[in-house]
Amino acid sequence: MEFVKLDACGNDFIALDLRGREGEWRPDSDQVARWCHRRRGIGADGMLLLQPGREGADFHLVFFNPDGSEAFCGNGARAAFTWWRALTEGQFNDARFTAVDGAHEGHWVEGEPCVDLYLKAEPQDTPHGAFVDTGTQHLVVGMTTEHLVDLNLPELARPLRHHEDFAPLGVNVNVVAAAPHADGRFALRTFEKGVEAETLSCGSGTVAAAAVLRWANGGDAFKFLAPGGPLGVVFEGRQRAWLSGPVAMPFSGRILPE
């Protein structure tokens, strides 16, 4: 089975194109976990499947966390759109696709993929930070840049990720700098559920952080710098957000039969 490795600002994925496959196949959770394992498999923050489009869409995206759970992933959506465009040999710069949370659009803008996400509600203040649902559940905590650099994120995040206030789904934990760098970018780090570790970037978490900054300070356009690279968010209205940033396709390979 052929796969492509995709890198969305350090958020890396194993991708399978299943659009030409007969019948609807998907890996089981054990297969996903094995393939995403950093030492015994290919290694990835998740796996994405391109399936035939539904209801007039160009493709349907299925995303799995490395523990085999299905979710929506903002960086995964950007990566999937980039790969779909590459498979068309760059003939199309716009796409409509569906995912577990509904319909989305992707556009190729100034050499980068840009996809839309939808806030399910305005950010909610909690004793732990601001809760935001961007199709995936997020907690956003503010901190000075100096403290963010030295922060032991897993130590902070694990109790919050499993806190009873966010049961049963749990939350991803994002820590964002309270003020931007001189270049206007806010530093951001994310601990992702399903991965159960800090990742180099998180697209839906970036949108969640932007939603909290807009809620607190106003504005519609925000720039971020995650450990894996730069990401941008622009809001269109109250709920729709456009997420942009680079995606690379470093290699492809073949998964051997088990």
Domain boundaries, the chain: 2-116+245-254, 118-244
**CATH architecture for the domain at 2-116+245-254:** Roll (3.10)
CB 101 within 8 A of CB 61: no
* pTM given for the model: 0.95
Backbone phi and psi for residue 219, each to the nearest 5 degrees, phi listed first: 100, 160
> CA torsion sign, 112 to 243 to 10 to 227?
positive
Calpha distance 236→28 (Å, rounded): 37
Whole-angstrom distance, CA of residue 149 vs CA of residue 64:
29
Segment holding 153, helix H or strand E: helix 153-161
* Architecture per CATH, 118-244: Roll (3.10)
End-to-end CA distance of the chain: 11
Res 153 pLDDT > 90: yes
73 is catalytic: yes
Mean per-residue pLDDT for 121-138?
96
Question: Percentage of residues in the chain with pLDDT exceeding 90?
Answer: 94
Of 9, 36, 114, 202, catalytic: 202
Cα–Cα distance, 112 to 100 (Å, whole number): 24
Q: Quick one: CA dihedral 207, 213, 218, 224, positive or negative? A: negative
Residues 6+ apart with CB under 8 A from 87: 17
Percent over 70 (pLDDT), the chain: 100
Distance between CA 28 and CA 35 in Å, rounded? 11
**β-pair type (59-64, 102-109):** unpaired
CA angle 214, 109, 239 (to 5 degrees): 30
Task: Tell me the average pLDDT across 13-25.
Answer: 89
Q: Provide the pLDDT confidence category of residue 22 given band limits of 50, 70 and 90.
A: confident
Average confidence (pLDDT) over 106-119? 97
Q: How many CB atoms lie within 10 A of CB 200?
A: 18
Mean pLDDT of 183-206: 97
What number of other Cβ atoms are within 10 A of residue 217's Cβ? 9
Distance of alpha carbon 96 from alpha carbon 240, whole angstroms:
15
Q: What is the pLDDT of residues 71-87, one digit of tens each?
A: 999 999 999 999 999 99
Q: What is the mean pLDDT of residues 147-176?
A: 96
pLDDT higher than threshold 80 for residue 23? no
For residue 258, pLDDT beyond 80: no
Burial 156-170 (b: 16+ CB within 10 A, else e): bbeebbebeebeeee
Judged against a pLDDT cut of 90, whether residue 237 lies above it is answered with yes
In this chain, the answer to whether the domains covering 2-116+245-254 and 118-244 adopt an identical fold is yes
Report the chain's mean pLDDT, rounded to a whole number. Answer: 96
pLDDT tens digits, 166-193 = 999 999 999 999 999 999 999 999 999 9
Rounded CA separation 66/211 (Å)? 27
Determine the pLDDT at residue 171: 97
Exactly one of 9, 36, 73, 114 is catalytic; which is it? 73
Distance separating alpha carbons of residues 101 and 57, to the nearest angstrom: 14
d(CA 46, CA 76): 8
